[in-house]
Structure 1
C-alpha cells in the first residue's frame, strides 16, 4: 500500500472538531447537544450582505482578481482608516478566509524548519498551518493565573534563534479572550524591530472588546511597517463564517508582492462572497453596538454561572467570545468525550473544546476546556448547570 506523508501523519487533529462524531452519535440517540466547542456566532448576518447576493445581476460567475476585487479592497482600506490604521488597497490581499491569509504569510516569510514564536494557548489551527508549511512552532507559555497576559518580553528573547522568523499573536485572543494592551504591543514591536523579525497579528476579533478597553493594532504602531503583517476575516465581525473571506494586510511591499504569488497559484477568492462582504462594510455602527452589548451580557452570565461550580475556575476574557475554564478533572479530553458518550441531564448535554489542543507544549492544559459563549444567555445558564451536574458523577474527577 502506498505510504502517507510524514507531514500528513504529523498533521494534528482539531480539538474543536475531533469530537464531532461523538456529538452526532449523541444526537442520533435523541440527546440535545449545546455546542460550546466552536466559535460559530448565532448573531444574524447583516441583511445588507445577504441582499447584495440576492440582488446580484451577475450572469457569469467569473474569477475575480487574485488579490481580490479593487472596489472591495478600496472599501477595506476605508474601514481600516476608521480604525486608525492607515493602509491602501495595494497593501491588502483578499483571501479565502483568515486561514488562507495566515498560510500565505507563513509561506512568504519562512522556509522549512524556520521557527515562529507564539504565546500559548493559541488558536489550535496554528499548529496545523505550521505543519503544512514545515515550520516549527516555538511556544512561550502565558499563564492561567495571570489571565493569559503577555509573558515577559525576556521570555520571548530567550527563544529567539537564527531560525526565528516571526512572532505570531492573536489579539483579542482565541482561545483565551485576552486583549493585549497598547503597552504590550509596544514591547513586542520593540522586540521585533531589535531582532529584525516579523510580527504577525491575527486581529479577526478586533471589534469584540469589553469593559471600555480599546483594541490597539500592530499597524497603529509607528516604525514597524516593514515588520508587521495583519491577518483578518469577516467570519466573526459580520457573523459570516461561511463566506470564507479574509485578508492579509502589510505595508511591506516585498511581503505583498510575494504573497500575491501564492494568491495567483490558487487563482482567486470567491466572487459572490466578496460581493456580500463589500456590502457588509456598510453595516451601521448600531449593529456592532448591539452585538457587543449582547456578548458582554453572555460573558458575564457564563462566567458568573461557572464560578459558582465547586472546583471550577475561569480566566475572565476581555475580548472575543471565548474563555478558558479549569475543571476538577484529570483529563479534559476524556471528560469532553464522556459528556457526549455517557452523560445527559434530562436528555441534554454539552460539547466543549479540550484546551490541551490549544497548546504546543506537552502536558499543559490537561484540566482545561474552552467555552465559546455564542449561545443565548438562558442556554449558557443551562449549559453551566449541565456541567455542574456532570462533574458530580464523572468517574475520573
Structure 2
C-alpha cells in the first residue's frame, strides 16, 4: 500500500538505523561498544531513582498541559545559578527536548517556511522539521576551524520571506562547539533586523571544557521577544529515558500558542516529572564531577583517534560528541562493516555515520559522530577496534595495500 509522501521524506536515524546489525553481532557473541548514541554510563542521581520508587499516587492521572506546577516553580532556581532571570510562567514542560523543538517549529512556521541551521546538526531535527513541514536551510561549518559559527553574512544571504527562525545547538551536538557571546550577539542582532526568531538547544550547557564559559540565549533580555530556549533533563542528570524537557520563552504569544499543541497531547508524563523535581535537588558537586569526567574522556579519545593514521578530528569544546573524518570511501559502509564483518578479539564498535547530519547532499560522507559517553577503559578498547577496523576495511573492501 502507498504510504504518505510526508513519511517517505523522513530518513531513518543514522544514530539508530544500524542497531539491527549491532543486535546480530551481540547474538554472535561479539561485545559492541556503543559510541553511536549519547547514552551516558554515568549513574543517575540516587534521589531521582528514589523519587520514582516512592511515587505514592493511587492513580496516575492526567496532569497540567504546561507541566507540573512544582517543576515549573523549581526550574527558575536552577537557571538563577547561571544568572538567568526565568519565571515559572516562561516555562512549558515538554516530553523531552525533542517535543520542545517540534513545538517551536509548529508555533513559529507555516508549511514550507524555512529554518536556517548550521550543519552538521543533530540529525533528528530533520524529522522534527518534516513533521512540521518546515524546510531546513543549511550553513556549513568546518572541522578546520572547530566548527565555529560561519560568517554572519552567510546567514543573511539565506534569509528570505519564508525564514521563520535560526536554530542553534550550544554546546553543539554533534560537533562539540560552544557558541561564544559574540557569536550569539551577531545572530540576535541579525534576527532583530529581519524580525525572525533564534531557537537555541541548550541541553548540554553544563558540559563546557578547558575553562570555557557557557553563554545562554536567555542572557540577553533585550532580545526576549524573539528567543526560544530548548532544554532537557536527559543528559544533565543521565536520565535519558525519562523524556522530560522544556520550552522556555519570555514571549507570551509563543507560549500561549505552543500551549495549544501541549493541550492536544494532553500532558507530559507525570512520574518522570516527579523524578525531574528530585533531579533539581542534586548537589552541584554531581554536575561538577560529571563535567570533569567527560572532559577527561574527551582528552582520552581525541588523543587516541589522532594517533590513528588518516583520522582527522578537532577538539570539542563542550557536550560529549565529536565528528571524526576517516580514511574510508564511505563511513556508513565502514560502520556496517564493523558490525557485520569485523571483530577484534570478540569486540567491535558502533558509530553514527555523519552524512545525514548534513542537509547538503554528499557532505560528511567520510565522517562519523562519536559519543564519548563510556569510561576510558571502554573507550580504549573502542579506539583499538576503530584502528584495526580501518586497516581491515581498507584492505578487504577498498583493496588498498597497507
Tell me if TM exceeds 0.5. Answer: yes
> What are the residue-to-residue correspondences of 1:48-59 with 2, within 5 Å?
48-59=47-58
Specify the alignment match of 1:366 in structure 2.
Answer: 365
- 1:26-85 Cα offsets, whole Å, 9 max, x none, are 111111110000000110000111111212221111111000011110101221111111
SS of residue in 2 equivalent to 1:161? coil
**2:297 aligned with 1:298, yes or no?**
yes
Tell me the CA shift for residue 359 of structure 1. 0.5
User: Does 289-298 or 249-258 show the bigger shift?
Assistant: 289-298
User: Does 53-62 or 338-347 show the bigger shift?
Assistant: 53-62
Distance 2:196 2:142 in 1: 25
Specify the alignment match of 1:99 in structure 2.
Answer: 98
> What are the residue-to-residue correspondences of 1:231-250 with 2, within 5 Å?
231-250=230-249
4+ residue segments displaced more than 2 Å: none
Once superposed, what is the RMSD of the aligned Cα atoms?
A: 0.8
The two structures have a TM-score, normalised by structure 1, of 0.99
SS of residue in 2 equivalent to 1:226? helix
Specify the alignment match of 1:219 in structure 2.
Answer: 218
Specify the alignment match of 1:122 in structure 2.
Answer: 121
Aligned positions, number: 396
> What are the residue-to-residue correspondences of 1:147-166 with 2, within 5 Å?
147-166=146-165
Distance 2:187 2:72 in 1: 28
User: Does 24-33 or 111-120 show the bigger shift?
Assistant: 24-33
Tell me the CA shift for residue 372 of structure 1. 0.3
> What are the residue-to-residue correspondences of 1:1-397 with 2, within 5 Å?
1=1, 3-394=2-393, 395-396=397-398
- 1:270-305 Cα offsets, whole Å, 9 max, x none, are 110000000110100110111011101100010001
Distance 1:348 1:393 in 2: 14
Distance 1:293 1:189 in 2: 31
User: Does 70-79 or 116-125 show the bigger shift?
Assistant: 70-79
Tell me the CA shift for residue 123 of structure 1. 0.1
SS of residue in 1 equivalent to 2:44? coil
Distance 1:192 1:326 in 2: 33
Tell me the CA shift for residue 222 of structure 1. 3.3
Distance 2:154 2:390 in 1: 36
- 1:214-247 Cα offsets, whole Å, 9 max, x none, are 1101110132101000010000000010100000
The two structures have a TM-score, normalised by structure 2, of 0.97
Distance 2:117 2:345 in 1: 42
Distance 1:329 1:50 in 2: 43
Distance 1:55 1:379 in 2: 34
- 1:80-106 Cα offsets, whole Å, 9 max, x none, are 111111111011000000011111111
SS of residue in 2 equivalent to 1:232? strand
Unaligned runs of 5+ in 1: none
SS of residue in 1 equivalent to 2:224? coil
Distance 1:82 1:308 in 2: 39
- 1:152-190 Cα offsets, whole Å, 9 max, x none, are 000000000000000000000000011111111111111
SS of residue in 2 equivalent to 1:223? helix
Distance 1:16 1:338 in 2: 16
Unaligned runs of 5+ in 2: none
Distance 1:299 1:271 in 2: 35
Distance 2:235 2:203 in 1: 7
SS of residue in 2 equivalent to 1:38? coil
Distance 1:303 1:62 in 2: 47
SS of residue in 2 equivalent to 1:80? helix
